[in-house]
């Protein structure tokens, strides 16, 4: 090999000394010598942070506390010079998106990817795209009212994609991330302590986790590796296959209410279908409901009804017979989450609030089709 003919790539592709573009935006706008300066314009544009008590336009997540009905909504900004997230809290669903009734708000320097209240109304958890899990408080007897972060852990390698709490007595959280890892956390001592790590729970990115509404030790998870697992953390080997080798990746999973749905698990896939599986009979779909022609984003249950959200402006509502009862298609972009109104009266109509991208907020009452 003749090394005398080799090319010095560093000097060849280096910025020449004669390249001296304008250093300010007004000068750049008048320059005709440097027309192709999109990247320079981007660097010179100052990032504008999110103002206080304002949510970004891409509303992604919502969570409701179990006892008092407090609501938190989180949004992200995917289009600006600065990608960031933020969340705001209200005392009740009736106060949603009324700026004068916001009880707390916070800007985040990362994209918020997971959000849920704990069993304590004053505590909630947040996950982001940097692999961090944060425990927040809205106030206590010692410090008084006011938002503050209690603890932050960075033990996931990739973005947090799933987060849920166990619903009985144990103060335990389950989380999943894009690296296929599932972790258990204990928050009973006032901070977050990792109590279990399953580094290779799935071969692909975990897309969703859900806990049993009655037992602390049971959970389900699904992944882009086209499988779903049933977890019993009382066992030495806690995971068994709930469904293996599906034809497309699973996108979301939800444990149905025990009283109405008889311990079924609902799973949505990337083909827009919702499947129901009995945990006592794995690898068998009891029922399949085609909903969309694209990925299912979320399945949300409320009493004898459930809603299916996808990567689409539509939201479809079903009854306990899997009959479609209503379709809402007023959004111009993706609908990402739903907040149900709390009601214990079967005679009252069921209402909910939909949130989505482009700052979409829609108050909705389901049509009564009992007479049909």
- Residue 107 within any structural domain of the chain: no
* Contact of 301 with 320, CB cutoff 8 Å: no
Question: What is the predicted pLDDT for the residue at 20?
Answer: 80
- Residue 114 within any structural domain of the chain: no
HEC string for 344-368: CCCCCCCEEEEEECCCEEEEEECCC
Total number of domains in the chain: 1
273 in helix, strand or coil?
Answer: strand
- Residue 8 within any structural domain of the chain: no
Q: Among all chains, which residue has been given the structure tokens 């942070």? A: 49
- Residue 187 within any structural domain of the chain: no
Closest CA to 166 of 198, 213, 203: 213
Q: How many CA atoms lie within 13 A of 372 on its CB side?
A: 7
| pTM exceeding the 0.75 threshold for the entire prediction | yes
List the beta strands (DSSP E) in 46-165. 58-64, 71-77, 84-90, 104-108, 112-117, 123-128, 133-140, 144-153, 160-165
Closest CA to 169 of 118, 134, 209, 220: 118
Supply 298's token pair.
């979320």
**Residue 152 has what DSSP assignment?**
E
- Residue 35 within any structural domain of the chain: no
* Contact of 114 with 160, CB cutoff 8 Å: yes
Q: Is the dihedral of CA 167, 173, 178, 180 positive or negative?
A: negative
Exposed/middle/buried for residue 232 (C-beta within 10 Å: 0-12, 13-18, 19+): middle
Question: What is the predicted pLDDT for the residue at 154?
Answer: 93
- Residue 119 within any structural domain of the chain: no
Question: What is the predicted pLDDT for the residue at 23?
Answer: 77
Residue 228 Cα to chain centre, angstroms: 18
DSSP bridge pairs for 123: 137
pLDDT digits (tens, 9 = 90+) for 182-224: 999 999 888 899 999 999 999 999 999 999 887 888 999 999 9
Supply 218's token pair.
């049971």
- Residue 338 within any structural domain of the chain: no
Cα separation, 326 vs 181, in Å, equals 37
Cα separation, 114 vs 211, in Å, equals 15
In this prediction, what percent of the chain has a pLDDT beyond 70? 91
Instruction: Spell out, as residue ranges, where the chain has pLDDT lower than 70.
Output: 1, 3, 34-45, 47-50, 141, 169, 258-261, 343-347, 368-372
Phi, psi of 124 (to 5 degrees): -145, 160
314: CATH = 2.130.10.10
Closest CA to 214 of 164, 263, 261: 263
Segments forming the whole domain that contains residue 206: 202-329
Q: What angle do CA 109, 120, 50 make, to 5 degrees?
A: 20
- Residue 163 within any structural domain of the chain: no
* Contact of 56 with 84, CB cutoff 8 Å: yes
Q: Among all chains, which residue has been given the structure tokens 């009493």? A: 303
């Amino acid at each position: 090999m003749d090394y005398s003919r080799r090319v010095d790539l560093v000097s060849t592709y280096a910025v020449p000394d004669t390249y001296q573009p304008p250093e300010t935006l007004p000068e750049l706008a008048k320059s005709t010598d440097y027309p192709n300066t999109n990247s320079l314009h981007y660097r010179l544009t100052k990032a504008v942070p999110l103002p206080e008590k304002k949510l970004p336009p891409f509303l992604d997540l919502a969570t409701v506390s179990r006892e008092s009905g407090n609501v938190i909504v989180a949004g992200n900004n995917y289009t600006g010079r600065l990608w960031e997230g933020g969340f705001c809290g209200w005392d009740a669903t009736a106060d949603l998106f009324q700026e004068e009734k916001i009880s707390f708000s916070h800007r985040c320097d990362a994209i918020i990817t997971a959000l849920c209240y704990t069993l304590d109304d004053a505590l909630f958890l947040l996950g982001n795209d940097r692999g961090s899990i944060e425990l927040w408080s809205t106030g206590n007897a010692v410090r008084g009212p006011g938002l503050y972060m209690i603890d932050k852990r960075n033990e996931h390698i990739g973005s947090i994609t799933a987060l849920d709490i166990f619903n009985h007595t144990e103060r335990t959280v389950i989380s999943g991330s894009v690296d296929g890892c599932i972790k258990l956390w204990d928050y009973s001592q006032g901070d977050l302590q990792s109590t279990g790590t399953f580094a290779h729970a799935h071969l692909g990115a975990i897309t969703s986790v859900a806990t049993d509404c009655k037992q602390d030790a049971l959970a389900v998870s699904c992944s882009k590796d086209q499988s779903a697992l049933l977890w019993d953390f009382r066992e030495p080997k806690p995971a068994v296959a709930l469904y293996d080798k599906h034809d497309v990746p699973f996108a979301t999973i939800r444990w149905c209410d025990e009283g109405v749905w008889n311990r079924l698990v609902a799973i949505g896939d990337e083909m827009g279908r919702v499947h129901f599986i009995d945990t006592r009979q794995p690898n068998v779909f009891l029922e399949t409901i085609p909903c969309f022609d694209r990925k299912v984003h979320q399945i949300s249950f409320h009493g004898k009804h459930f809603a299916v959200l996808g990567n689409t402006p539509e939201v479809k509502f079903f009854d306990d017979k899997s009959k479609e009862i209503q379709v809402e298609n007023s959004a111009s972009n993706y609908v990402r989450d739903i907040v149900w109104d709390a009601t214990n009266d079967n005679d009252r109509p069921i209402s909910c609030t939909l949130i989505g991208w482009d700052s979409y907020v829609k108050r909705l009452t389901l049509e009564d089709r009992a007479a049909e």
